Amino acid sequence: MKKHHAKLAEEFYDKIIKLHHKEFHYEYLQYVKWLDLLASKLSKEAVVLDLGCGNGRALKYFVDKGFQGIGIDISDKMLKLARKYVPKARFYKKEFTQINFNPNSIDAVISFFALNHIPKTEFKKTMNICKKILKKYGILLLGMVKGESEGLFKGFYGKKMELYGAGYSMSEIIKVLKLSKFRILKTGIEHFKGKYFEEDDVYVLAKKIN
């Protein structure tokens, strides 16, 4: 049975797809310098997995550079756009904790503003799964909305629909990653102002150490 927070996210993102696609299109990636940094650390044939890939804009960056891309997302409408705009990547409809790639098979896992839509206990589980599927010295790049609160909220994109949201501090993310045996390589906090919202975002680049 689908988890409540995942069902809410599926319904929400299917509904606001047009607004989201306008705000987060392919020509503008607010986190491009983090993608550049990750790309500089990957070998030519590297496989990059994007958790909550949305319209596939981050994967397009990697696929255009010749890397292999895999995206998972819970929203059918997001996946439809991703398949259309990034045909060379593979996309699957999956919830984060359902991913079942082979152990030690992925070179890099990326995720931007998607793991904020699951409870914090699920975030810990997801990081353990990432550790399992990443190759030795595989890399993890996270972009997470900074904040303290966790729970159901309304008003995202001006809509009355409910959505699950969990904000994170830098130290909280680092603590979870260290418990999952990642070594932190670089961190940063950046301000984002879009048409629909304004926020601080925490970025963490980490490496699987064993």
Pick 57 or 131: Cβ nearer ligand SAM: 57
Interface positions, 13-32, toward ligand SAM (CB under 6 A):
13, 24
- Rule CB under 6 A: say whether 57 interacts with ligand SAM: yes
Q: How far apart are CA 69 and CA 62, in angstroms?
A: 7
- Rule CB under 6 A: say whether 201 interacts with ligand SAM: no
User: Of 63, 162, 77, 61, whose CA–CA distance to 112 is shortest?
Assistant: 61
Residue with the CB atom nearest ligand SAM in the bound state: 54
Pick 98 or 181: Cβ nearer ligand SAM: 98
Beta strands of 28-133 (E only): which ranges? 47-51, 68-73, 90-93, 106-112
Q: Which of 34, 38, 70, 73 binds ligand SAM (CB under 6 A)?
A: 73
- Are 133 and 106 contacting, i.e. CB atoms less than 8 angstroms apart? yes
- Rule CB under 6 A: say whether 118 interacts with ligand SAM: yes
Pick 66 or 194: Cβ nearer ligand SAM: 194
Number of residues that bind ligand SAM (CB under 6 A): 20
Q: How far is the CB of 168 from ligand SAM (least distance, A)?
A: 14
Q: 3-state DSSP call for residue 12?
A: helix
- Are 68 and 130 contacting, i.e. CB atoms less than 8 angstroms apart? no
At 201, which amino acid appears?
D
- Rule CB under 6 A: say whether 113 interacts with ligand SAM: yes
Q: Mention every residue, 6+ apart, whose C-beta is less than 8 A from residue 155.
A: none
- Rule CB under 6 A: say whether 54 interacts with ligand SAM: yes
Q: Mention every residue, 6+ apart, whose C-beta is less than 8 A from residue 190.
A: 30, 31, 200, 201, 203
Rg of the chain (C-alpha set): 16
- Rule CB under 6 A: say whether 69 interacts with ligand SAM: no
- Residue 156 DSSP class: G
- Rule CB under 6 A: say whether 146 interacts with ligand SAM: no
Q: Which of 16, 38, 46, 74 binds ligand SAM (CB under 6 A)?
A: 74
- Rule CB under 6 A: say whether 112 interacts with ligand SAM: yes
Residues that bind ligand SAM (CB under 6 A): 6, 9, 13, 24, 52-54, 57-58, 73-75, 78, 95-96, 112-114, 117-118
